[in-house]
Structure 1
């Protein structure tokens, strides 16, 4: 098949995938259909790509990361139903108050998500808190989505060392790293993102005040069970919105120490597992076919996150045994909430695997690898583009590493680049252009806040894309000159 025709097929399939996904069509169907269309344009065996390329890649993703999806969703649901997330939000609101409304919203969202609570759960808890604070401070409602996004979807997702976000786990099997890869660079990036975002939000609030713009109720927020919200959300978040109202929310909020302890446990246990326990394990038996012919470095990162979340879940359930009045229903809802997101992202991964296997992808790969600046810049550009096109940080990151991960590892070795630096740049790159207008998290957040793209998207771009890109450039420069630290 002529190369231009094959490239056209890839572009058409991608356009159909993006367009229909934005309209709420499920990627469980869209991704294989788009992949088969691209294969047909290339003259490749369609059914073979469906069963042997698409499905094997999707199954590999589920096998690697489903434990993190299910434990993360379960932890988030129990934190919500026990009243712990609400207690943290209330504490931040009471402590900082309306005078520091922007800071309270950002820090509240950051604490919850860095502790392991899923993005979607945090949206529905932080949004009412933000509304109350913004109304008291008379800050325009249109700034709510950007403030929530800054605290939940930027530095705590991609930069802070040890974050249990799925995006931070995805590079670990590829690079043999831990969630704490390049901690110094991650902290610097976090400070840049948070500082820039808070500066921008403060500037916008001040300008709005000078123009006499005030807080006003606009459109009501959309419900979690809205079909369009659900389909858009599941490719960008690890929690199915349909389960948000299941279970039984405790009217009795726990003390702040009890609410925060599980969040601290997630980070602390993750650190101990990554730095102390797992490095001391001798596991040559993992190389046997019985265990998939893998290595400890390839699985230890996932193991550490799983142990951290599992321990936090047990402690959370014990501390809140009287508040979790419908424990079985909450557990069921948390487990069920992980299934659609992991399968949706796996479908995107399968689509990417088919595209990467097509002969027409070779010139695309060569063009990406030929970008000036070395492997770090090439990795950043490839991940940014794929995350932006798919509207999914986790999907775009996995597609990029599936298609080019081995090549980047070879290049990093030849350029003497620490895999930890590759890990941090890959994760940060997935959390930049993924926030384009069709991103499921953006659409969901706007719906939860009752805002529109027209009113609020520019501020989301500034805190979620521009700030993240500035931090990414800083990490690339520092990493190039000083390596990973």
Structure 2
């Protein structure tokens, strides 16, 4: 009983204080020790040193290369004006009457192209603000537009996404980032069309009520100024990431000769490698071909590298907190309760993963815990590994964006808005749409058997 109480109280404390702006770097270790203290199972300091820190360090050791490569790539795309050029091209082709589509598509392209989710928010904010302002769409819808393009289908559902969460199951299930393409494409279509349809409905409703973009001071739109590369050159780094990811994943690292080489050395092929290589080559390409658009290339790379530290340490801290929670006997009871539910096994996978993501306020953090604790149980259920891969990360992209989510707080802060103004629409995109989509995907797979 005390263990259950410890989980509930510390979870609500995590949500409340994160909502109030307290960093999870401080919250997570304190609440992890509090959970251990309340449960009476583990000494608080032992929970910190022997459970929290190893779990956090393990996460960093696995995924730091993906974080830093993605952050540097995204920073260079923004600093050279390439992201702005791509967004402008799309908005010109789509037109001002479809401003919401333009923002979502431009954000999606950058995210699917490998730009870090956190970097996309900074790169797309000025463009999105300009597009919505020209169309007189309420600015309060901007966070939802950006979140739909960055935090949903391009992060978890669309096959081939180089975002780090899509690489995580590869280590446990021996899959690749193109796992379950039919299910992934179906889920992506549901989220994209459902999300844009909802946002356009909200925009039309606001227009009928006489609500326009609104008056917003100090928007910080100076990033729209300066010379930028043409669309062809701007899109080239993204094409490089796409092509290299595909070749390395489907051919080079999939070949028996390469696998045997690593096996002989006592290692296994890591599913994150194609993404890291693709992003790294794209970084070199940008530095060579777009050097004239960079004022201080060394500083830009440094800022990008440093910018990767906060996201990965935030997530690692949440994983550390989750590591302490999962070490409690109460967590094992909850896990067994979910596994014993009289529902299809695939639904057990989705429910447990999204609950864990909600607890830690992070899709990647929830996925990391689910993979570490439940991956063997999931495989023992006889579910196709590719289906596990896709369903787990799509489910993780559901409850992860509750109010205490660090990405939500960052997004609202960058857009200079607050939860009261924008969270309902944002939650509809990042909680409602993904949960509907993953439910449809699971039902579709159970009915058809298609992967």
TM-score grouping bracket, smaller chain normalisation: over 0.9
Structure 1's 443 and 50: CA in aligned 2 closer, same or farther, altered over 3 A?
closer
Q: Which runs of 5+ in 1 are unaligned?
A: 224-244
**Residues 126 and 220 in structure 2, CA contact (< 8 A), matched pair in contact too:** no
**1:217 match:** 215
User: Structure 1 residue 284: deviation in Å?
Assistant: 4.6
CA deviation string 1:460-479 (max 9, x = no partner): 22222222122111110122
Q: After the TM superposition, which residues 358-397 of structure 1 pair with which residues of structure 2 at under 5 Å, given as runs?
A: 358-397=328-367
Residue equivalent to 2:15: 18
Q: Deviations over 1:125-147 (max 9, x none)?
A: 32222222222222222222222
* 2:320 aligned with 1:335: no
Alignment of 1:151-230 (within 5 A): 151-218=149-216, 220-221=218-219
2:67 and 2:197 map into 1 onto residues whose CA distance is 34
Q: For the structure 1 residues 16 and 80, does the alpha-carbon distance in structure 2 shift closer, same or farther, using more than 3 Å as the test? A: same
Alignment of 1:66-465 (within 5 A): 66-218=64-216, 220-221=218-219, 251-280=226-255, 281-284=257-260, 286=262, 294-296=267-269, 299=270, 301-411=271-381, 415=382, 417-465=383-431
After TM superposition, list the pairs within 5 Å mapping 1:446-485 onto structure 2.
446-485=412-451
Shift of the 148–249 alpha-carbon distance from structure 1 to 2, 3 Å rule, reads closer
Question: Quick check: 2:322–2:360 contact (8 Å CA) kept in 1?
Answer: no
2:58 to 60, 70, 75: 60
Confirm or deny: 8 A CA contact 2:241 2:279 kept in the other structure.
yes
**SS at the partner of 2:4?**
helix
Q: Quick one: distance in 1 between partners of 2:158 and 2:394?
A: 10
After superposition, the Cα gap between the structure-2 partners of 1:142 and 1:343, relative to the gap in structure 1 and judged at 3 Å, is: closer
Deviation at 1:449, TM superposition (A): 2.4
**1:42–1:360 Cα contact (<8 Å) kept:** no
Residue 484 (structure 1) shift: 4.9
Deviation of the 1:250 alpha carbon: 8.8
Q: Is the 8 A contact 2:15 2:403 kept in 1?
A: no
Tell me how far apart the structure 1 counterparts of residues 20 and 420 of structure 2 sit (CA, whole Å). 18
- Asked if structure 2 preserves the Cα contact closer than 8 Å seen for 1:421 and 1:483, the reply is no
SS of alignment partner, residue 276 of structure 1: helix
Measure, in 1, the Cα distance between the counterparts of 2:285 and 2:449. Answer: 38
CA distance in 2, matches of 1:468, 1:52: 35
Residues 137-194 of structure 1 show CA distances to partners (whole Å, capped at 9, x for unaligned) of 2222222222222122211111111111121112211211111111111111111111
Q: Once the 2 structures are TM-superposed, how far is the Cα of residue 429 of structure 1 from its aligned partner?
A: 0.8
**Structure 1 residues 52 and 484: CA distance shift in structure 2, 3 A:** farther
The separation in 1 between residues aligned to 2:332 and 2:137, in whole angstroms, is 51
Q: Which residue of 2 aligns with 1:8?
A: 5
Normalised to the residue count of structure 1, the TM-score between the two structures is 0.87
Give the 3 Å change call, closer, same or farther, for CA 457–21 of structure 1 in structure 2.
closer
Larger deviation, residues 371-380 vs 24-33: 24-33
- The RMSD of aligned alpha carbons is 2.2
Which shifted more, 254-263 or 334-343? 334-343
Equivalents in 1 of 2:386, 2:231: separation in Å?
A: 35
Counterpart for residue 229 of structure 1: none
The separation in 1 between residues aligned to 2:58 and 2:122, in whole angstroms, is 32
Question: How far apart are the structure 2 equivalents of 1:464 and 1:13?
Answer: 24
Q: TM-score, normalised by structure 2?
A: 0.93
Q: Aligned pairs, how many?
A: 449
CA distance in 2, matches of 1:206, 1:47: 55
3-state SS of paired residue (1:322):
helix
Shift of 1:46: 3.7
SS of alignment partner, residue 162 of structure 1: coil
